[in-house]
Amino acid sequence: MSSEVPAQYRRVLSGMRPTGQLHLGHYHGVLKNWVELQQQYKCYFFVADWHALTTHYEDPSIIGDSTWDMVIDWLAAGVDHGLADLFIQSSIPEHAELHLLLSMITPLGWLERVPSYKDQQEKLKEKDLATYGFLGYPLLQSADILMYKSGLVPVGADQVAHVELTREIARRFNHLYGREPGFEEKAEAAIKKMGKKNAKMFIKLRNAYQQDGDQEAIGVARALLEAQQNITVGDKERLYGYLDGSGRVVLPEPQALLTKASKMPGLDGQKMSKSYNNTIALRDKPEDVEKKLRTMPTDPARVRRTDPGDPAKCPVWQFHEVYSDESVCDWVQKGCRSASIGCLDCKQPVVEAVLTELKPIQERAQEYTEQPDLVRSIISEGNEKARDVAKETLEDVKFAMGINIV
């Protein structure tokens, strides 16, 4: 999948809303993935506080309160500010400016059609989400993504439609504004810089694609382009557009990196989520973690200790699937069905595994909590780096649109 993304755009951007404490669902579903991605790609991870405002505008205090704790939880979970840039969305006002500029070319229907628009309004009935900001938040997300020209966006299934929207916006932008004056001439001059042999091949491949729709040819041509050392990034962008006829690629189309659905269940067997009140927070005290697990529901058929049960009907089993090795799983299956173990016995390995997992996270969180200046400086450094990129992109965008060029 990521091979379709040209090398210079193989960077990752993802955001998380600060709307409360992070829990094991975030850890298994998102953070562990970020920790892996940061080893492979240039990564930008940010606190999506403006996004949180689209649903929490009536009582935004939770946003301010959660922001710094969330950053601490990221660091504690292994997100490394030496490998990834960590920043706060509202510290980079360029996101708002790009969102505004993109809003001008976004048909209303595109936003109304995004599934989360209607779904969330249905789901969060207690909130009035018939707002301009809520309708526009997928476009704000597009601005976040396009700002860093990030070709790779790790998201869950519910957010794939937002990446799809972003692709359409990028395409529309490039189509409308990628046609700089003298585009063809500039593209042709750039081709010459590839050297005779490559230039000839490139033209042949372009013709095969444009005249005969040869998909393989465009793939080969892109690879050829990518391998060129002698041409500038601007020329490469031009030639990408020249290849498929779209104009200069000012904003590259991103790909969704679909994150596997997390297996992490909540204490009641539903998805772990604050709104279901079934979470284990990363910073829950060990005694509270233990209590939550010991009191979590089990197979309702096991009323008495002597009643056999069925792990398939028990949320504890789902925890074993995340945490236990084969032999423990075996022991559970046999012990439960024959009533040779009690539910508290069965829960004990889970209690130990969760506590073992949380211990180093909590220790690191404690260290960061004791050094608020360090956390602030990590973020101000990330903000600065992100802002440099954001300013550059906005310059490109404004230049392409012919707006406010000095």
- The CA R_g of the chain, rounded to the nearest whole Å, is 25
Question: Does the protein bind ligand TRP through residue 25 (CB under 6 A)?
Answer: no
- Looking at beta carbons only, is 119 or 310 nearer to ligand SF4? 310
What is the H or E stretch that residue 197 is in? helix 196-212
- Looking at beta carbons only, is 146 or 361 nearer to ligand TRP? 146
Q: What is the arrangement of strands in the sheet containing 11-16, beginning at the earlier edge strand? A: 84-88, 42-47, 11-16, 152-155, 255-258
Angle between helices 315-323 and 326-337 (to 10 degrees): 160
Minimum distance of ligand TRP from residue 86's CB (angstroms): 14
Site for ligand SF4 in 35-64 (CB under 6 A): none
Name beta bridge partners: 85.
44
**Burial class of residue 328 in the structure, from the number of CB atoms within 10 Å of its CB (0-12 exposed, 13-18 middle, 19+ buried):** middle
Question: Does the protein bind ligand TRP through residue 17 (CB under 6 A)?
Answer: yes
Name beta bridge partners: 257.
154
Site for ligand SF4 in 178-207 (CB under 6 A): none
Total binding residues for ligand SF4 by CB under 6 A?
A: 14
Show Cβ contacts of residue 317 under 8 Å, excluding neighbours closer than 6 positions.
Answer: 311, 332, 336
Give the separation between CA 66 and CA 72, rounded to whole angstroms: 10
- Looking at beta carbons only, is 259 or 362 nearer to ligand TRP? 259
Question: Tokens 């593209």 correspond to what residue?
Answer: 187
Question: Does the protein bind ligand SF4 through residue 323 (CB under 6 A)?
Answer: no
Q: From the list ligand SF4, ligand TRP, none, which binds 341 (C-beta under 5 to 8 Å, kind-based)?
A: ligand SF4
Question: Does the protein bind ligand SF4 through residue 351 (CB under 6 A)?
Answer: no
Q: From the list ligand SF4, ligand TRP, none, which binds 51 (C-beta under 5 to 8 Å, kind-based)?
A: ligand TRP
Question: Tokens 């989360």 correspond to what residue?
Answer: 116
Q: From the list ligand SF4, ligand TRP, none, which binds 145 (C-beta under 5 to 8 Å, kind-based)?
A: ligand TRP
Question: Does the protein bind ligand TRP through residue 13 (CB under 6 A)?
Answer: yes
Site for ligand TRP in 47-86 (CB under 6 A): 48, 51
| Number of residues that make up the chain | 406
Site for ligand SF4 in 329-348 (CB under 6 A): 332, 336, 341, 343, 346-347
| Of the residues 141, 262, 298, 362, which one makes contact with ligand TRP according to CB under 6 A | 141
Question: Does the protein bind ligand SF4 through residue 265 (CB under 6 A)?
Answer: no
Give the separation between CA 253 and CA 174, rounded to whole angstroms: 10
| Of the residues 139, 262, 302, 349, which one makes contact with ligand SF4 according to CB under 6 A | 302
- For 176, 280, 285, the CA distances from 319, given in Å and listed in that order, are 51, 12, 19
Total binding residues for ligand TRP by CB under 6 A?
A: 12
Q: From the list ligand TRP, ligand SF4, none, which binds 279 (C-beta under 5 to 8 Å, kind-based)?
A: none
Q: What share of the chain is helix, strand, coil (3-state, %, to 5)?
A: 65, 5, 30
| Of the residues 309, 365, 383, 390, which one makes contact with ligand SF4 according to CB under 6 A | 309
- Looking at beta carbons only, is 173 or 319 nearer to ligand SF4? 319
Question: Does the protein bind ligand TRP through residue 152 (CB under 6 A)?
Answer: no
Give the separation between CA 28 and CA 40, rounded to whole angstroms: 19
CB 143 within 8 A of CB 13: no
Residues binding ligand TRP (CB under 6 A):
13-15, 17, 48, 51, 141, 144-145, 153, 155, 159
Residues binding ligand SF4 (CB under 6 A):
298-299, 302, 309, 311, 314, 316-317, 332, 336, 341, 343, 346-347
